[in-house]
Amino acid sequence: MSSGKNYSFKVVLLGEGCVGKTSLMLRFINDQFNDKHISTIQAAFMKKKLRIGNNSVELAIWDTAGQERYHALSPIYYRGSHGAFLVYDITDIDSFQRIKNWVKELKTALGNEVVICIVGNKSDLEKSRNVSIQEAEEYAASVGADHFSTSAKLNKGVTELFLDISQKMVQKFEQSSTTNTNGSGATTSNKRSAVRVVDDSEQTEPVNKSSCC
């Protein structure tokens, strides 16, 4: 059986304020949930390692502020991302409509290489739903993304969300590496060089917390 590889990916959480981006990150990283909303100022950063088959994946997760006054800073934080969660509140139709603007912005900046997941958070508030699952899934499919329903409060769908995007980023990287293999059999440098692949015996370099890239 072939030995696994170590991957390091950058993932960003985008969406309006109060949709639960920070709650999703904290639930996944620390299995914690805080009922009191604390607004993210500019951006927050955390890391998490997980296993995907025989491979080790380290996620550098950036949680961005949703307030409009911080929107101009967003490109600083999503630049070089391999994956993006576009999060909306299922009770807030406006937060879903704004997701469409984020998709256009990401595709313009990062092209089709970035793996996008549309996330309908706060599924525990189903009785107050204002965005139909069918509409959200149809939109996600139209932009080549998957749709997930999550509840950070009840810890529903959160782990699955992060595992799915990790699997897709590994697949995309492997496909890209295969495409970039030259005639001699050597793999050419991937333009998205923020991905590091090393042998299991080596250590992945720590991500510089003072840097967005």
- pLDDT at position 28 is 95
Q: Which of 77, 9, 94 is nearest to 42 (CA)?
A: 77
Which residues, 6+ apart, have CB-to-CB distance to 18 below 8 Å? 37, 39, 66, 89
Residue type, 116: I
- pLDDT at position 136 is 98
Q: State the Cα–Cα distance between residues 38 and 32, nearest whole angstrom.
A: 14
Average pLDDT estimate for 186-194: 38
Give the H or E element holding residue 121.
strand 115-121
User: What is residue 106's DSSP assignment?
Assistant: H
Residue type, 121: N
Q: What percentage of the chain exceeds 70 in pLDDT? A: 74
- Does the pLDDT value for residue 192 go beyond 70? no
The CATH architecture annotation of domain 5-199 reads: 3-Layer(aba) Sandwich (3.40)
Average pLDDT estimate for 184-192: 38
Read out DSSP for 71-96? Answer: GGGHHHHHTT-SEEEEEEETT-HHHH
Q: State the Cα–Cα distance between residues 42 and 113, nearest whole angstrom.
A: 25
In the chain, domain spans: 5-199
Average pLDDT estimate for 185-207: 38
Q: State the Cα–Cα distance between residues 73 and 182, nearest whole angstrom.
A: 38
